[in-house]
Structure 1
Amino acid sequence: MEILTQSLASLATQVPGATRIFHHYKLDFCCGGQRTLGDALRKREQDPGPVVAELVQLMNSDNPEQQWQQASNPELVAHIFENFHQKHRQQLPELIRLARRVEHVHGDNDDCPHGLADHLEAMHQELENHMQKEEQILFPMLVRDIFPSGPISVMEEEHFEHGQALEKMQALAHNLELPVGACNTWTALYVGLKELKEDLMEHIHLENNILFVNRAEGEGSCCGSCH
């Protein structure tokens, strides 16, 4: 099937709604976006049939989701700032608070996500530093169709580190699997962690695979995904 030979990044950018499918099947379309769908499924030992069927259904439907590769750089930068940068700044402090509460109250439970709050604190600091560099240095250049290879490469490397941080976050949270009888705070924490993971992956995908790729032929330097 030809679709299996396409990269996760290209499917994510060309098929609106594909990222929801990739989240469901735990396929990394941001930092691991250059891997083909077939390779990614083989690595996870998953049957390609259901994934391909869902993607084909999306391709054949009238999907209202915006295809961001057709947007201008200013439009995409504004979307990323409002829907991801600002949202992350709200998400992480609350998740840290919830994690601290869960660790304090349920520290004697084997399923307690020990060390999660400290890890989220570190993620918060690293992500804030990263976003400030984008907002103050890189984004103003990109909206003027200037694609500086050095700063873009640095951001892509930091995106890879954010991806690793997400993996550690999920491991500390026991793959976001709630124990029987989990309290409301614990439940809210894991729901929020799932949302953060999906948001940050979408954020990285939009930057690595669309915004950072020079679509102005003959200008600047073209940079792809971090893998």
Structure 2
Amino acid sequence: MSADYLNTALGDLARTIPGATAVFHANRLDFCCQGHRTLADAAAKKGISATDVIVQLEALKPGVSDARDWQQASSAELVEHILARFHMRHREQLPELMRLARRVEQVHGDRPDCPNGLADHLSCMAQEMESHMLKEEQILFPLLLQGQQAIAGGPISVMRYEHEQHGEALDEIIRLTDDITPPVGACNTWQALYRGLEEFRQDLMQHIHLENNILFASSPRATGYACCSKG
């Protein structure tokens, strides 16, 4: 089984092993935008031990996860879940994160470990994500729900490409915040900001995973990871 894990794409592992996404989050492995990479390749690029990750995956107990297996859901159910759990949530998260980031930069901007530029980065990210989500809500999701997968292939390719851009934006958050790690002596606002950023990071990765690896997989023109192959 370990050899199979090594040579299996992260997106496939995330889709088929309950609890795998938590392991990938803990090891900072991108199973959504870079889900085409095998575990062996992804671990090597991250500079971590693939064997350690496999041990964590094999320690997962079958049947203990209360997360729904979205592969068994209809497209309508999955779209409804994405809209309620992620689209609505991101629209709540980003304004608050921007507010907290601006406060931290205003008060602690002279500190070398302050994430200066984070608020502006989150503002740009919010605009890009809002445009992306509207395209899904107004164009792509209706096509999928009407069973027009062939017509949806083009929009899906665009969405996959924009997902990759979201992944790059998350990488910039990681860079600005020392891997979302609050410094010693960080005030309550700073700590709240970083807790919110980590929640947002995990939510966005799960959001993209459900779309790239499950919802979009039914389109014959959108299978694979053609638009997430950089790096």
After TM superposition, is the score higher than 0.5? Answer: yes
Corresponding position of 1:180: 184
What is the alpha-carbon distance in structure 1 between the residues aligned to residue 12 and residue 89 of structure 2? 26
Hey, what does 1:95 align to over in structure 2?
A: 97
Cα separation, 1, equivalents of 2:217 and 2:50: 29
- Measured in 1, the distance between the counterparts of 2:37 and 2:61 equals 20
Of 166, 170, 192 in structure 1, the residue corresponding to residue 196 of structure 2 is 192
The two structures have a TM-score, normalised by structure 1, of: 0.94
1:212 maps to which of 194, 216, 223: 216
Partners of 1:114 and 1:130 lie apart in 2 by 26
Take 1:161 and 1:195, find their aligned partners in 2: how far apart are those partners? 19
1:131 and 1:78, CA in 2 relative to 1: closer, same or farther beyond 3 A? same
The RMSD of aligned alpha carbons is 1.4
| Alignment check: 8 A CA contact 2:156 2:222 kept | no
Amino acid paired to 2:154: G
Task: Give me the whole-angstrom Cα distance separating, in 1, the residues matched to 2:28 and 2:95.
Answer: 25
Given that residues 176 and 190 in structure 1 are in contact (C-alpha distance below 8 angstroms), is that contact kept between their aligned partners in structure 2? Answer: yes
| 1-structure distance, mates of 2:167, 2:96 | 20
Q: Distance in 2 between matches of 1:143 and 1:59?
A: 34
Distance 1:24 1:101 in 2: 28
Describe the SS at the equivalent of 1:212.
helix
Q: 1:224, CA displacement in angstroms?
A: 2.9
Deviation of 1:57 after TM superposition, in Å, equals 2.5
Q: Deviations over 1:31-53 (max 9, x none)?
A: 11010011111222222232112
Q: Partner amino acid for 1:87?
A: R
* CA distance in structure 1 between the partners assigned to 2:159 and 2:14 by the alignment: 20
Which residue of the partner structure matches residue 111 of structure 2? 109
Runs (5+) with no aligned partner, structure 2? none
- Separation in 2, partners of 1:164, 1:132: 20
CA separation in 2, counterparts of 1:36 and 1:19?
14
Name the CA distance, whole Å, in 1 between partners of 2:88 and 2:26: 25
Q: How many angstroms apart in 1 are the aligned matches of 2:64 and 2:203?
A: 24
How far did 1:16 drift?
Answer: 1.6
- Give 5+ residue unaligned stretches, structure 1: none
2:96 match: secondary structure:
helix
Question: Aligned runs of 1:67-82 on 2, under 5 Å?
Answer: 67-82=69-84
Aligned match of 1:65 in 55, 60, 67? 67
